[in-house]
């Protein structure tokens, strides 16, 4: 009995320490984000996007769009990409062996015909069946290949693209008209720039017409609203802060811009992980630092990609399981960077944070909730302990989620209706009263899956725009 008491006590101490460190990080990141976003929003007022388009300074860009069973949304997404406000770009859709009508709907919508295109790189991929070119849009190409996974599809796109910059975007996502020109601006300002990430927003509930988000609204689905709060906290707080520290480890696969030559020299996308977006960024940091270079990877909050989020518990569980597996696979592959000053703030700050607080977080939290319950049932608690646990595990979480919603309102105001704003603040409360705990359970299952060697991507179901 005494041994059990000591174990419960140790888990409680570890959990409170974990929550304290996590809350401290998000507090600091929120302050950094507030300072940056206030400065950035002021700068945006003087930014003339049209002059960037017409000046001739914008470099050519290739948009690589991997697609697998995306018949419901790929046409709208491609239409949006074909009407971007950018001087010189091409769209390369890579059909990764879809088993639905993805190829048929693309062919019908854009008049695809067989064509020849010489490769510009030789990254290994599954066999390419054919290359097609649109008879209606000269800058649209489609690669039809055998199924090999998202990383394999991205590499197939890199093999035929010729632009100095390439942008990855999911086939179920929609870019805003000026997103590309806003995302390329950091490359013109800093020659050390190797990757730029834009913000990804949840499209569920909004009106999409001809590849454009016309009317931004919150979804009536509670899970979708909770994910809006999550995305705001992850992007407007955490990713802004890591970008300010030059320690960004993630550029979202739903919308990221990269220097093509650097990525090809690093070996392209890894097919050995389901978190190919994070693994690539971590590897780029490592490769550049090993060569004596100090790369820049930044997050820019105003180029927007809209994406469809899961609206069912089963779909969300699969996604979070996959994200956790991708996180742990990416970090374990490059474990030598942990705490290594050779890799700057990435090795000394970002890597320890993502491994100890994000990677091990689900295990610590689930164990902590179990220990807290045992403490209450066994009568081992004190008012100070219960108050500390609830403060750090729930109340601080609510405050930080609400702060992320406030940052959104103070800067970009994408949800103009006051009723949507109230629903967002309500979601910030609900998120920490069951949803977060459920999310950690799914991520714990992802951790177990990594230990078991599970590699598959997992099925995805789209509702369509």
Does the pLDDT value for residue 1 go beyond 60?
yes
Chain position carrying tokens 């725009």: 465
- Rounded to the nearest 10 degrees, what angle do helices 150-160 and 276-290 cross at? 60
- Rounded to the nearest 10 degrees, what angle do helices 361-377 and 436-452 cross at? 120
Work out the burial of residue 366: count CB atoms within 10 Å of its CB; fewer than 13 is exposed, 13-18 middle, 19 or more buried.
middle
- Provide the mean pLDDT of the chain: 91
Please measure the distance between the N-terminal and C-terminal CA atoms of the chain and give it in whole angstroms: 57
pLDDT at 38: 84
CATH number, residue 57: 3.90.550.10
How far is residue 30's CA from residue 234's CA, in Å, rounded to a whole number? 10
Residue 223 near residue 430 (C-beta atoms within 8 A): no
Taking only the tens place, the pLDDT of each residue in 220-250 is: 999 999 999 999 999 988 999 999 999 999 9
Q: Name the strand (E) or helix (H) holding 88.
A: none
| Overall number of domains in the chain | 1
**Residue 13: pLDDT band by 50, 70, 90 thresholds?**
very high
Query: How many Cα neighbours within 13 Å face the side chain of 74?
Result: 28
Using alpha carbons, list the distances in angstroms from residue 266 to 94, 334, 404. 21, 14, 35
Taking only the tens place, the pLDDT of each residue in 304-340 is: 899 989 999 999 999 999 999 999 999 999 999 999 9
How far is residue 368's CA from residue 16's CA, in Å, rounded to a whole number? 8
How far is residue 90's CA from residue 102's CA, in Å, rounded to a whole number? 20
User: How many helices (H) and strands (E) would you count in the chain?
Assistant: 18, 12
**Residue 465: pLDDT band by 50, 70, 90 thresholds?**
low
pLDDT at 45: 67
pLDDT at 370: 94
Does the pLDDT value for residue 259 go beyond 60?
yes
pTM: 0.91
**Residue 210: pLDDT band by 50, 70, 90 thresholds?**
confident
Query: How many Cα neighbours within 13 Å face the side chain of 217?
Result: 9
How far is residue 184's CA from residue 164's CA, in Å, rounded to a whole number? 11
Most confident of 75-89, 138-152, 377-391, 450-464: 138-152
Parent domain of 443: 1-465
Share of the chain above pLDDT 70, in %: 96
Taking only the tens place, the pLDDT of each residue in 41-93 is: 777 766 767 777 777 778 999 999 999 999 988 888 898 899 998 999 999 99
Chain position carrying tokens 């697998």: 68
Q: Name the strand (E) or helix (H) holding 281.
A: helix 276-290
Taking only the tens place, the pLDDT of each residue in 158-200 is: 999 999 999 999 877 888 888 999 899 899 989 999 999 999 9
Residue 98 near residue 67 (C-beta atoms within 8 A): yes
**Residue 296: pLDDT band by 50, 70, 90 thresholds?**
very high
166: its two tokens = 């390439």
């Amino acid at each position: 009995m005494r041994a059990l008491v000591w174990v419960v006590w140790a888990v409680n101490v570890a959990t409170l320490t974990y929550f304290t460190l996590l809350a401290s990080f998000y507090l600091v990141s929120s302050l950094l984000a507030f300072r940056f976003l206030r400065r950035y929003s002021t700068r945006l007022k003087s930014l003339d996007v049209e002059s960037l388009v017409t000046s001739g300074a914008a470099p050519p860009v290739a948009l690589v769009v991997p697609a697998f069973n995306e018949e419901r949304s790929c046409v709208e997404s491609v239409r949006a990409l074909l009407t971007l406000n950018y001087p010189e770009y091409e769209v390369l859709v890579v059909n990764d062996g879809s088993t639905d009508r993805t190829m048929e709907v693309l062919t019908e919508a854009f008049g695809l015909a067989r064509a020849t295109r010489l490769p510009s790189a030789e990254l290994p991929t599954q066999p390419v069946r054919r290359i097609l070119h649109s008879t209606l849009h000269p800058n649209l190409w489609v690669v039809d290949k055998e199924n090999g996974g998202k990383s394999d599809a991205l590499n197939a796109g890199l093999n035929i693209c010729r632009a100095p910059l390439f942008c990855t975007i999911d086939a179920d996502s929609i870019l805003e008209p000026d997103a590309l020109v806003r995302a390329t601006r950091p490359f013109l300002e800093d020659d050390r720039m190797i990757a730029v990430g834009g913000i990804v927003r949840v499209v569920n509930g909004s009106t999409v017409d001809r590849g454009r988000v016309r009317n931004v609204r919150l979804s009536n689905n509670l899970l979708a609203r909770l994910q809006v709060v999550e995305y705001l906290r992850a992007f407007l707080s955490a990713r802004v802060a890591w970008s300010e520290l030059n320690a960004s480890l993630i550029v979202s696969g739903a919308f990221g811009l990269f220097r093509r030559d650097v990525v090809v020299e690093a070996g392209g996308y890894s097919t050995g992980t389901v978190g190919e977006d994070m693994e690539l960024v971590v590897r780029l940091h490592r490769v550049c630092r090993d060569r004596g270079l100090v790369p820049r990877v930044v997050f820019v909050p105003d180029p927007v990609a809209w994406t469809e989020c899961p609206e069912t518990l089963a779909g969300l569980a699969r996604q979070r399981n996959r994200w956790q597996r991708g996180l742990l696979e990416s970090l374990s592959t490059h474990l030598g960077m942990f705490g290594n000053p050779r890799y700057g703030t990435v090795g000394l700050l970002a890597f320890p944070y993502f491994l100890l607080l994000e990677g091990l977080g689900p295990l610590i939290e689930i164990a902590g909730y179990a220990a807290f319950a045992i403490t209450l049932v066994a009568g081992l608690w004190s008012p100070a302990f219960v108050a500390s646990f609830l403060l750090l595990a729930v109340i601080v979480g609510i405050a930080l989620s609400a702060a992320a919603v406030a940052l959104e309102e103070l800067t970009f105001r994408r949800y103009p209706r006051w009723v949507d704003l109230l629903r967002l603040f309500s979601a910030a409360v609900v998120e920490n009263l069951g949803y977060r705990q459920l999310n950690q359970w799914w991520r714990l299952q992802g951790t177990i899956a990594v230990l078991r060697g599970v590699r598959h991507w997992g099925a995805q179901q789209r509702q369509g725009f």
